């Protein structure tokens, strides 16, 4: 019997086995590749949706700051805080003595309380807001789910920002803290009305150019940028920024600032010549005495618990917004050339000459006193305590007896012990934002 050795049959079987193995490997690799592809797409979708949700947080943060700015710019807010603070203090027994720290604690709680009542919860211009309408990429914040709570530290806005790339939706549970300290400085003075620097208020309190006395015992300045010293000659500061904090400076000639003055706080400046500057933002607890003329070339956006005393004439070319518990005194004429002037909380403008003003608002506790002619213009003139020798408007009281009764004296005891005021430097605002990612 003849045996057959068929090698072709074995080769065929081997080929089939190899094809099967490679097919299985291909299927496994293809499956892994498909899974990886899907995971990459899902990850990309998550990243896109999360980025869109974060854009919603940034957008809503801006809306919150705008809402807070509206509250701070409303004089009624400060008046309501002051009223509630005074009412709260009256609740304590006459014999009870509160420390400044206790008063500040009470005041902080009232600030947060009023803010919470007055701030309007922001709404988006549309729901959702499309970042890319063609791709249907958007973010959304449901206004009904936004909550605002307050404590002595400030306000908390909580909401969910949802981002969508039309495939995946990601929600960010967000809390934005708006601290009181980012917007408000709470200053403590004393019952004598002292508010920084070395000078003293006059004993009789008359408006005669001696509200601020010259400092004594100062050492000589080494250069124009030194403080807490007496400078012999004229100081000239070129363009840039200039700040004076917790300092006493006596200049024997003129003080010329060709710069944007960002901050004068807790300081006394005594100038025996002229004084000029650009803007004077964030002026707090300042006493500025100028023996000759003064020119402030731009805005004063914060003017609180301060005195500017000019023995010559003065020109204020910009706006003076929300002045509080402060005095502007000029022996000569005063021109207020800005189109928005507002004085609150026991503030006074007193001029020995003529005064021109446009769009001026004074509250019931403040006054404008002009020994010469008071020229008022503009469509926004509000207040009842305008006194002058003569004026173009009937709103001004020109009775000499009333002028003497209401403008003759300045009482340091009228000044607030605790003064609140807005900080308008938004760059200082760094609210804490906490994200909890939910998918």
Mean per-residue pLDDT over the chain, rounded: 79
What is the mean pLDDT, run by run of 10 residues, along the chain of 439 residues? Answer: 56 72 70 57 74 88 86 76 81 66 83 90 89 90 90 88 87 85 59 36 52 87 87 85 83 87 81 90 86 90 86 92 86 90 87 92 88 90 89 92 78 42 44 52
Round to whole Å and give the CA distance between 366 and 364.
6
Which three-class secondary structure state does DSSP give residue 168?
Answer: coil
Q: Cα 275 to the chain's mean position, in Å?
A: 27
What letter does residue 382 receive in the DSSP assignment? B
What would you measure as the largest C-alpha separation in the chain, in angstroms? 151
Give the model confidence (pLDDT) of 236-280 as tens digits: 888 767 778 888 999 999 999 887 766 788 889 999 999 998 878
Whose tokens are 């914060």? That residue is 302
Domain-by-domain residue ranges, the chain? 45-185+428-438, 194-416
Structure token pair of residue 339: 């189109």
pLDDT for residue 92:
74
Q: What is the DSSP string of 299-333?
A: -BS-EES-EEEESS-EEE-S-EEEEES-EEEESS-
171 to each of 52, 142, 160, how far by Cα in Å?
10, 11, 6
pLDDT of residue 437: 58
Neighbours of 313 (CB within 10 A): 19
Burial letters 341-366, b for 16+ CB under 10 A, else e? bbbbbbbbbbbbbbbbbbbbbbbebb
| pLDDT of the residue at 43 | 66
C-beta neighbour count of 233 within 10 angstroms? 12
CA distance readout (Å), 114 to 10, 109, 120, 182, 420? 93, 9, 12, 16, 13
pLDDT of residue 284: 82
Residue that has been written with the tokens 């899907």 in this structure:
38
Q: Give the list of residues 6+ apart from residue 352 with CB closer than 8 angstroms, or none.
A: 330, 331, 332, 371, 372
At 286-342, the pLDDT tens digits run: 889 999 999 998 888 778 888 999 999 999 998 888 788 889 999 999 999 888 888
DSSP 121-158: PP--SSSSEEEETTTTEEEEE-GGG-EEEEETTEEEEE
Query: Which two three-digit tokens encode residue 28?
Result: 């496994």
**What's the sign of the alpha-carbon dihedral 424, 430, 432, 437?**
positive
Instruction: Check if the beta carbon of residue 420 is closer than 8 Å to that of residue 104.
Output: no
Per the structure block, which two tokens stand in for 399?
């009775």
**Helices within 74-99 (DSSP H only):** 75-90
Per-residue pLDDT at 308: 93
Is residue 111 a contact partner of residue 420, using CB atoms and an 8 Å limit?
yes
């Amino acid at each position: 019997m003849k045996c057959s050795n068929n090698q072709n049959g074995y080769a065929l079987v081997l080929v089939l086995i190899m094809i099967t193995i490679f097919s299985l490997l291909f299927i496994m690799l293809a499956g892994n590749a498909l899974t990886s592809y899907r995971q990459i797409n899902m990850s990309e979708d998550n990243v896109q949706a999360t980025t869109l949700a974060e854009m919603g947080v940034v957008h809503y943060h801006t809306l919150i700051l705008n809402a807070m700015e509206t509250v701070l710019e409303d004089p009624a807010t400060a008046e309501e805080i002051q009223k509630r603070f005074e009412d709260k203090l009256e609740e304590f027994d006459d014999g009870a003595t509160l420390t400044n720290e206790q008063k500040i604690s009470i005041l902080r709680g009232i600030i947060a309380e009023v803010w919470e009542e007055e701030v309007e919860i922001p709404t988006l211009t549309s729901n959702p807001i499309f970042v890319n309408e063609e791709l249907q990429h958007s973010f959304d914040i449901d206004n009904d789910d936004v909550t605002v709570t307050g404590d002595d530290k400030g306000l908390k806005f909580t909401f969910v920002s949802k981002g969508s790339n039309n495939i995946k939706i990601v929600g960010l549970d967000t809390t934005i803290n708006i601290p009181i300290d980012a917007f408000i400085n709470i200053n403590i003075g004393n019952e004598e009305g002292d508010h920084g620097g070395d000078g003293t208020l006059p004993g009789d309190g008359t408006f005669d150019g001696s509200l601020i006395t010259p400092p004594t015992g100062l050492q000589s300045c080494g250069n124009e940028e030194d403080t807490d010293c007496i400078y012999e000659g004229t100081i000239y500061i070129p363009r840039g920024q200039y700040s004076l904090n917790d300092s006493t400076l006596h200049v024997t000639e003129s003080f010329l600032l060709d710069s944007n003055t960002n901050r004068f706080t807790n300081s006394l400046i005594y100038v025996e010549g002229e004084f000029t500057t650009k803007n004077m933002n964030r002026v707090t607890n300042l006493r500025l005495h100028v023996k000759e003329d003064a020119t402030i070339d731009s805005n004063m956006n914060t003017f609180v618990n301060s005195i500017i005393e000019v023995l010559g004439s003065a020109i204020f070319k910009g706006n003076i917004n929300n002045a509080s518990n402060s005095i502007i005194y000029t022996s000569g004429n005063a021109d207020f050339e800005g189109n928005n002037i507002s004085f609150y909380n026991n503030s006074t403008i007193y001029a020995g000459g003529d005064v021109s003003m446009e769009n001026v608002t004074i509250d019931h506790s403040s006054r404008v006193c002009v020994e010469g002619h008071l020229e008022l213009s503009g469509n926004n003139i509000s207040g009842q305590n305008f006194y002058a020798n003569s004026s173009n408007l009937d709103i001004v009281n020109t009775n000499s007896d009333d002028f003497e009764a209401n403008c003759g004296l300045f009482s340091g005891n009228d000044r607030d012990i605790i003064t609140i005021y807005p900080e308008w430097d938004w760059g200082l605002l760094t609210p804490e934002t906490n994200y909890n990612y939910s998918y």
